[in-house]
A and B are shown apart, each in its own frame.
Chain A
Amino acid sequence: MVAISVKETPAVAARVPRSGKATPYLFLAPYLILFCVFVLAPALFGIWVSLHDWDYMLEGKPFVGLDNYTALFDSQSPVYGDFWMSMRATGIFTLFSVPFLVVLPLGVALLLNRPFRGRTLFRGLFFAPFVLGVAVVCLMWRLLLDPNLGLVDWILGTPIPWTTATPWAWIALVGVTVWWTLGFNAVIYLAGMQDIPRELYDAAKVDGAGRWGEFVHVTLPGLRPVALFVVTTTILASANMFGQSYLLTQGAPGGETRTAIMYILQQGLREYKMGSASAMSYLLTLVLILVSVANFRLFRSRS
């Protein structure tokens, strides 16, 4: 046995460079396989689906070319009005929720990064809502914000229709979402802050920087990669908002707060018009890609 292994050793050694080339791919393989099977293949299949009048239970899935796409731009089609209203709803929600979800958690993280008694408790408090499910959060707020019976209006002494009329419904949706998910971004910022080398602050102090100077010249630049991550994921998460509208407002009034994902889901899973739903998804994807690219450019040009 020993002899054999000794004999083989040179051969193995000779193979090392070759297996060395394969090594990274082997390490990547588990992810790549999962990515191809569960992301790439369905995504490509989705393009195929979007070119058909597709219902997976029906035998006839007639090829319709780009009809599902052109219908989205044809004001006479049954989906045009609802689809663009839902894109508008998604746009409004993203536009108003992202700034809050980017800036407020930064402030919270700055506060929670200072040493003070009970800091861990407060870190936990801010993060706590995030562990609740969307159904719990929305059912609770739906009752609290009920226009006629809710606690919020009762305390404020106002008759504000938080869940049934715009712009109040938008304020409610953004507010609840910020309350719910603020802790997550704050934790990411906190982690980022702790990665900023102490020496930089010391150096800044030596140079005579005050609190504001430290924040602008050390903390913010140090957080740039983290901020890019936070901004990008927050935009994508907000653009994919579904549960809050579905549970809190049910799209009221008249579908104005029905988001794109909500409408796509209705088309695809309730009405079984998967071709049309796929085409809508691709349009939404395209918009999100453009936004993300612009976002990356913006952060790069600053650095």
Chain B
Amino acid sequence: MFLDNLSRRRLLGLGLGALAIGTAGCGGGGGPKQAQAPATTAAPTAYTGPSVSLKFWNGFTGGDGPVMKKLVDQFNAEHQNIKVSMNVYQWADYYAKVPAAVSAGQGPDLGIMHVDSVATNAARQVVLPLDDVANALSLTEADFSPPVWQAGVYKGARYSIPLDVHPLGMFYNKAVMKKAGLDPEQPPKTGEEYLAALEALKKAGIQGHWATPFPFTGSMQFGTLLYQNGGQLFADDASVSRFAEDPGVQALTWLVDLVNKGYSPKNVGQDADFIALQNGKAAFNWNGIWSINTLKEIKDLEWGVAPLPQIGSKPAAWAGSHQFVVFKQRTPDQNKLTAAKVFINWISGHSLEWAKGGQVPARKTIRDGAEFAALKEQATIGTQIDYLYFLPSVAGIGDASAVVDQAINAAILLKKSPKDALTEAAAKADKILEANRKKYGA
């Protein structure tokens, strides 16, 4: 389970060692010249050309890996003239490797990126614009949902096609709720209900919600509460940070109060909040949809999942999204591009299988279908689709959000007051945003 989670720790991914700096530096001698994206023609959803093989890279090292492998095998069996071979790396390695490989002319043909990395890689010309793919496949916003679809647009061009979204949900331990006299079939939905439940748990000697200071999933919980309070992490154009404004201070104060009021222990370690839920030491854990399969594997654990409670003035939930991207090649190959489109469309159309791995399909027709509704847990978390938020689609936005992680860490560990931590972080983030504008162009 830990390695599973680790693979998702892409947000913190720093690569595996100084060696990588060396290789990155070496490969840097001849950066690719600004090659215009090849003018691709609209493609059909079937490929009739000569046999091609496609290299498909991704970071599905957890329980999602075998699911994708199965889909790829099925695709290969159904398409005699396309052979897709899949390579899997740890996400951290993947994000360091892919640009280096593309720069060396050894890049894969297509891959997956998290939505908050798309803009950066678009600006760095690692990935190709895909408007024509969307057109060729007749994909539009209506096929997905507005936030998910818009998240792949950078400077007016589309660079990615959504595969799934993976939001936070509220996981709860039914046995623990019963112990505190709470109805396990009626998990709290509002702020008042939530605090009342925590109070009841406290009286029963249980710390109900462990406030974790680490990005997984403390930063995601903070972001969720911030948006629920009507705030934003950054301005839409990322010109300035906005997380230190009142909604942010309120959101972080709410989390820190969980510790101060004794609803959460102090000094929660990495993953300890999730372990506490499994061990019956906590009642609630706001965690990613990917936790479903982990919890299913634990015998005798009575658990449920619900949409996140609405603590603030409006519903909101953190979410990530895996998106298809096509990598830039030194010599573009029309046949490969066409085959890649066929592949993306086919997988997207079969994403119900993908959903079983613990994801919400991005494609609306699949999400609305009876078969997805039958995946009870996924469907429950999926109901939040219309109020998910993503980071703005701005190059280098991850650099600034890393600063927020540190502020949340210091505040929940009671090293700094929420306001001070956020204000200091905002000053730093604004400088980083400014430096990024200079680097990537406003």
Contact = CB atoms under 8 A, between A and B. Distances in A.
Interface of A: 38, 42, 45-46, 49, 53-59, 61, 77-78, 81-82, 139, 142, 145-150, 161, 163-165, 240, 242, 246, 250-255, 261-262, 264-266, 268-274, 277-278, 281
Given A254-B409, A270-B14, 9 more contacts: A56-B31, A57-B124, A150-B269, A161-B266, A163-B270, A246-B12, A269-B24, A271-B398, A271-B399
The 10 lowest CB-CB distance pairs between A and B, nearest first, are A254-B410, A56-B28, A78-B431, A161-B267, A57-B124, A147-B267, A164-B267, A146-B269, A253-B413, A271-B399
B103 interface: yes
Nearest to B100: A56
Given A55-B439, A164-B213, A269-B15, A252 B409 contact: yes
Given A54-B28, A78-B431, A255-B406, A42 B22 contact: yes
A253 B410 CA distance: 6
A281 B25 CA distance: 13
A266 B28 contact: no
B205 interface: no
Contacts of B18: 240, 242, 261, 265
Given A46-B25, A252-B214, A254-B406, A142 B269 contact: yes
Contact of B267 (A54, A165, A262, A271): A165
Contacts of B100: 56
A58 B269 contact: no
Nearest to B408: A254
Interface string B12-43: 11110110111011111101111000000000
Given A55-B439, A149-B279, A164-B213, A254 B421 contact: yes
Given A78-B431, A254-B410, A266 B402 contact: yes
A148 B14 contact: no
Contacts of A38: 22
Contacts, number: 160
A254 B17 contact: no
Interface of B: 2, 12-15, 17-18, 20-22, 24-29, 31-34, 95-96, 99-100, 102-103, 120, 123-126, 210, 213-214, 265-270, 272, 275-276, 279, 281, 396, 398-399, 402, 406-407, 409-410, 413, 415-416, 421, 428, 431-432, 435, 438-440
Contacts of B22: 38, 42
A254 B407 contact: yes
Contacts of A270: 13-15, 95, 398-399, 402
B34 A59 contact: yes
Contact of B409 (A56, A253, A266, A278): A253
B222 to A, nearest CB: 14
Given A240-B18, A274-B28, A254 B266 contact: no
Nearest to A267: B399
A139 B267 contact: no
B439 A268 contact: no
Contacts of B20: 265, 269
B258 to A, nearest CB: 14
A262 B24 contact: no
A170 to B, nearest CB: 15
B192 to A, nearest CB: 27
B12 A250 contact: yes
Contact of B270 (A56, A250, A271, A281): A250
Given A142-B270, A161-B266, A253-B410, A81 B421 contact: no
Nearest to B427: A78
A161 B276 CA distance: 16
A159 to B, nearest CB: 8
B413 A252 contact: yes
Contacts of A148: 210, 265, 267-269, 272, 276, 281
A273 B210 CA distance: 36
B125 A57 contact: yes
A77 B33 CA distance: 31
Given A265-B15, A269-B14, A61 B398 contact: no
